[in-house]
Amino acid sequence: MAAAAAVALRAPGAGRMRAWRVHAYGALAELRLDEARVPPLRRPRDVLVRVRAASLNPIDVAMIGGYGARALNTLRALDGADGVEFPLVPGRDFVGTVERAGPAARLRPGQRVWGVVPPHCQGSHADFVVVKDEWAGVAPRALEDAAAGGALYAALTACAALRAAALGPRPRVLLLGLGGVGQAALQLLVARGAHVTVGCSGELAGLAERLGAAVVLDRHAPEYDHQLEACSPYSAVLDCAGLGGEEAAARRWRFARYVTLSTPLLRQMDARGLAAGALCAGAALLAQSARVAGAGAAGALPPHVRWAFFSPSAADIELLRRLAERGQFAVCVERVWAWWRAAEAFERAARGGARGKLLLDWTAPPPQPA
């Protein structure tokens, strides 16, 4: 393995690239720096991007352990990849420069772009990544590479959560959690004129206020539960803290919709198979909604639980670009590592609790021999 890593540290030859890959599910020790083939364009709308920076997301760590393998393998097969999962390149979002473009792609060679890679596709922790051009867009000039490279997976997940919330004009929203998705959701809500109450750690109160929160509540404060109730009713509660749908009935707040990003769907599919797992997950969602239905309504319908999932969208990517250019969307970065130090970056990601995005810099020069 040491010899292979030494080869991969060198500048690759024509048609070759450096990539972090896993060859079997397990611990982070399975992650290896390999020399690999530059991926080809497979569709007329595909683009090949030379990566400048790529972020680490919690799902990257989970996937190395096998999370979602059954469902993702099915999606790979449907996408024409014949169900091939190994070697698997992690990395869900990136910024870089278009190297080649298919004849039907709107993006052209030389453009600086930001993009996102769905979990069933080979990722961006490599010199090059291929994506459909609707999964990428012209990167905002207002964001440097580190911010742009860590933006889209979290922000597009936040966009999906807001769609699930089905908000009307000037809504009152409770936002739980201020990680990457929570920060993006807060900025999107503020941009649309929402009154946002944020529940987060006290150390993040200043960030929440800078991003436009109307009220910030310290989730560690003794009176936190009472404050949540006092600030209701809410048009929607957005769970970006990983609490799950069960939390919707745990407190006596009033709301119309509770949207969570933490669902049992993929875990149930891993454990029970696709059909049985989906049925079990659906039953869990119905049960969660039933438990909150008797709590009273903040709107025309009884309160209920909805699940939201990451979903790539060219329209959402363009919306985020416009917001960034107007100074209404920014990305906090905790740390950037040189690409050859990905093992350290993944160890940090696995510990959780990051206060900003974690990224790999693919423009960094390789280490000098000792």
Determine the topology of domain 2-151+331-361 in CATH. Answer: Quinone Oxidoreductase; Chain A, domain 1 (3.90.180)
pLDDT at 319: 97
Tokens at residue 8, please? 């991969």
| CA–CA dist 363, 342 (Å, integer) | 14
What CATH code is assigned to 158-307?
3.40.50.720
Dihedral, CA atoms, 277, 283, 288, 290, nearest 10 degrees? 180
pLDDT at 81: 61
| CA–CA dist 323, 317 (Å, integer) | 10
* Domains in the chain: boundaries: 2-151+331-361, 158-307
pLDDT at 87: 92
User: pTM for this structure?
Assistant: 0.92
| CA–CA dist 11, 17 (Å, integer) | 8
pLDDT tops 70 at residue 3 = no
pLDDT at 299: 47
pLDDT at 293: 77
Same fold for the pair 2-151+331-361 and 158-307:
no
Q: What is the DSSP letter of 239?
A: E
pLDDT tens-digit readout, 310-331? 999 999 999 999 999 999 999 9
**What band does 297 get if pLDDT is binned at 50, 70 and 90?**
very low
